[in-house]
Structure 1
Amino acid sequence: MAPKTGEMLHLRGNALSKGEPVALPLTQSSMYHLPGTPDGQASYGRVDNPTWVHLEHVLSHLEDAPCLSFPSGMAAISAALFATVKAGSRLLIPSDGYYVTRLLADRFLSRLGVIVEERPTIAFAEGGFDGFDVVFAESPSNPGLDMIDLTEVADRVRAAGGITIADNTTMTPLGQRPLDLGIDVVVSSDTKAMGGHSDMLMGHVASRNGDIMERVGEWRKISGSIPGPHEAWLLHRGLETLDVRFDRMCSSAEVLAERLAAHPAVKQVRYPGLADDPSHKLAQEQTTRFGFLLSLTLNSEDQAEAFINNCPLLRPATSFGGVHSSAERRARWGDDVDPAFIRLSVGCEPVEELWQAIEASLNAL
């Protein structure tokens, strides 16, 4: 079921007493007045913060599941993995997903005795899931935008006795709902579209499995992987405009994908909303929108750099999901893609103005 975003906007307001502020207060404190025994009261800044509580109330509404916030998307991924694997566990991750997840698995989890295996997204279900304790999925993959059937994966992993984790950063809960599809745990980098303004780092973990969430909470408290209250406040404010931003971004991406696919300077476009895209049929069944990310491949690395750097309405920057459209050549980070492959994150600019700038930059190549 899609979240009721109108209700979300009034979650705080409908619980206010007369004279309380409508805007969420920022609690910037490491200490709390705590005479006597704690008795379940806020005790210390590494454990409790009222600003987190209100933020997580909104996140839980969006995910329709208990949520905990973290200081980055990777902090959320780390928490989900450290809460579910141990020495001897077998972990499956996508070979073409976010590269830092692979680095975490290779440089840290594997050295602690976790057996890590990788598969490309398009062949993720091949070979089955028997013997895997945790299966980490990413759909659409970042940056390739390949998709997998999350319901099928969740069902097969559960039947084999494993746990599934899905990174839903590229779609947000408004575009795709992995928990409703049977996935056990969702992680997200809220640095991206959830916050939406490129001014903070945040992430969250959501699950309807109480035991897993208890472990995730224990990891956060003991490891100290906690969000700053100001960042939590910024994310809470960003979530209030997520619905309108996400709608604009997805609608514009659909328009741009069609036009880019027809431009003679573009070799290939990947966007799940295109009828001939390999992910289109699955996206129609699994997502409520086709997303705001697309990719285009030009004829050379030099052309890709010139296109990005000479377009005044594209920020040449890593990350994605902000109100400003941005683009980058992903091969510069070592992704296994064509040197002229560009990940384009569509922002909130008026679509015709944005297209004119993009088209002019392509025409000048």
Structure 2
Amino acid sequence: MSSRAARLAHLHTPGLAKGDPLAPPLVLSSVFHLPGDPAGARQYGRYDNPTWEALETALAHLEDAETVIFPSGMAAITAVLFPLLKSGDRILLPADGYYTPRVLAQRFLSGLGIEFDTRPTAGYLDGGFDGYRLVLVETPSNPGLDVCDIRAVADAAHAAGALVVADNTTMTPFGQRPLDLGADIVLAADTKAPNGHSDVLFGHAASRDAGIVATLREWRKLSGAIPGPFETWLMHRGLETLELRFDRMCRSAETVATRLAGHPAVQEVRYPGLPSDPSHALAREQMLRFGSLIGVTLASERQAEAFIEACPLIEAATSFGGVHSSAERRARWGDAVASGFVRLSVGCEPTEELWRAIETTLSEARRT
């Protein structure tokens, strides 16, 4: 991935004329000059946009697959599920992954005659995949950080005739390569680390199947699930520093997770990079990095909330992947975790300064 990272900031330059701007242009127009036969020309802002194309080129470069962008991660998931499924289909969703796809399936897919089952990530291979049209994996799972074998799931699901979709939000293309491991589609909420600055909602889906990509583009065009040009431009600007930021975040997370595992205020740490973690062996095989998320279980809800509110270098927020470290007690959203479980997202602060703030605040929270 180092060569892809090196070329990422230079994708726009080969076609430049002397005096052209190095930054991709921000094109805000909703209409385009279109005399005569419209074929082969830009037609309307719901169909395409030069700023979209610059970002899709960059994401396709990282994914090594044609990419379609959307205004949020859930818009990308919706764009995969609705046009690729029909009444009578059955899908499998992770029971311990991000909860919104399960709500979407229950509230809307079920009303269209599409049934769904759930299964915990650590046991995703248990029971096989016969009868499923589509299998969605999220690994590491959010928030529990369990891991499943993407290649084994893809092989078994394909043998049963199912499509495999991988939500790679927690890892980015620099941390994990689901398409290389056999997934048919990879998608992500680029709201997180790819943008990195907590100022844009965004998502994308990528595939090496031309038919799937064409369907995704048609869905975006007809449904109107389109990103704004300005948000797209901001997302492109953030993406160019993803490799640098993600490297810092992962390195810091490995240090912080190791030290948290020995802190007396901590009951349990989940982090795939820890040799003691139940997912470590598999994570070491299929992941390029171990990520920037850490699951930290404290003794009680009160201690968890006190830690989050008091730590000066942690923002209390319900997202992750930003340049700032953030944390939240996930049980408040109904996730099946302990009441004192904290999802800690490690940001880009200097590692030792961040650790000192965490260590001091944990010790104080323990006394509450």
Query: Secondary structure in 1 aligned to 2:14?
Result: helix
What do you get for the CA RMSD once the two structures are aligned?
0.8
Q: Report runs of 4+ in structure 1 exceeding 6 Å deviation.
A: none
Partner amino acid, structure 1, of 2:69? S
> Deviation string for 1:43-71 (max 9, x for gaps)?
11111110000100000000000000000
Cα drift, residue 14 of structure 1? 2.2
* Aligned residue number for residue 323 of structure 2: 323
Give unmatched runs, 5+ long, in structure 1.
none
Partner amino acid, structure 2, of 1:91? I
Query: Secondary structure in 2 aligned to 1:323?
Result: coil
Cα drift, residue 3 of structure 1? 5.8
Distance in 1 of aligned mates of 2:117 and 2:131: 11
Matches within 5 A, 1:46-195: 46-195=46-195
> Deviation string for 1:135-188 (max 9, x for gaps)?
011000000000000000001111111100000000000000000000000010
Distance in 2 of aligned mates of 1:279 and 1:14: 43
State whether residues 83 and 212 of structure 1, in contact with CA within 8 Å, keep that contact through their aligned partners in structure 2: no
Cα drift, residue 73 of structure 1? 0.2
State whether residues 49 and 229 of structure 1, in contact with CA within 8 Å, keep that contact through their aligned partners in structure 2: yes
Partner amino acid, structure 2, of 1:196? G
Partner amino acid, structure 1, of 2:200? M
* Aligned residue number for residue 211 of structure 1: 211
Cα drift, residue 19 of structure 1? 1.2
Query: Secondary structure in 2 aligned to 1:83?
Result: helix
* Aligned residue number for residue 295 of structure 1: 295
* Aligned residue number for residue 305 of structure 2: 305
* Aligned residue number for residue 350 of structure 1: 350
Aligned length: 365
Partner amino acid, structure 1, of 2:167? D
Cα drift, residue 15 of structure 1? 2.2
* Aligned residue number for residue 44 of structure 1: 44
Partner amino acid, structure 2, of 1:247? D
Distance in 2 of aligned mates of 1:15 and 1:250: 35
Distance in 1 of aligned mates of 2:275 and 2:309: 30
Name whichever of 115-124 and 140-149 sits farther off. 115-124
Query: Secondary structure in 1 aligned to 2:144?
Result: coil
Cα drift, residue 9 of structure 1? 1.1
Matches within 5 A, 1:195-344: 195-344=195-344
Cα drift, residue 228 of structure 1? 0.4
Distance in 2 of aligned mates of 1:344 and 1:49: 37
Query: Secondary structure in 2 aligned to 1:181?
Result: coil
State whether residues 331 and 338 of structure 1, in contact with CA within 8 Å, keep that contact through their aligned partners in structure 2: yes
Partner amino acid, structure 1, of 2:73? G
Query: Secondary structure in 1 aligned to 2:174?
Result: helix
Distance in 2 of aligned mates of 1:221 and 1:3: 33
Give unmatched runs, 5+ long, in structure 2.
none
Distance in 1 of aligned mates of 2:265 and 2:319: 25
Q: Normalising by structure 2, what TM-score? A: 0.98
Distance in 1 of aligned mates of 2:2 and 2:334: 36
Partner amino acid, structure 1, of 2:66? P
State whether residues 3 and 63 of structure 1, in contact with CA within 8 Å, keep that contact through their aligned partners in structure 2: no
State whether residues 3 and 64 of structure 1, in contact with CA within 8 Å, keep that contact through their aligned partners in structure 2: no
Distance in 2 of aligned mates of 1:51 and 1:74: 21
Distance in 2 of aligned mates of 1:16 and 1:357: 47
* Aligned residue number for residue 362 of structure 1: 362
Distance in 1 of aligned mates of 2:2 and 2:201: 25
> Deviation string for 1:200-259 (max 9, x for gaps)?
000000000111111111110000000000110011001110010000000000000010
Q: CA 1:307/1:315 → structure 2, altered by over 3 Å: closer, same or farther?
A: same
Query: Secondary structure in 1 aligned to 2:200?
Result: coil
Distance in 1 of aligned mates of 2:77 and 2:340: 29
Query: Secondary structure in 1 aligned to 2:37?
Result: coil
Distance in 1 of aligned mates of 2:106 and 2:3: 36
Cα drift, residue 314 of structure 1? 0.2
State whether residues 192 and 322 of structure 1, in contact with CA within 8 Å, keep that contact through their aligned partners in structure 2: yes
Cα drift, residue 83 of structure 1? 2.6
Query: Secondary structure in 2 aligned to 1:348?
Result: coil
Partner amino acid, structure 2, of 1:178? P
Q: Normalising by structure 1, what TM-score? A: 0.99
Distance in 2 of aligned mates of 1:180 and 1:84: 21
Cα drift, residue 39 of structure 1? 1.9
Distance in 2 of aligned mates of 1:137 and 1:171: 13
Name whichever of 33-42 and 273-282 sits farther off. 33-42
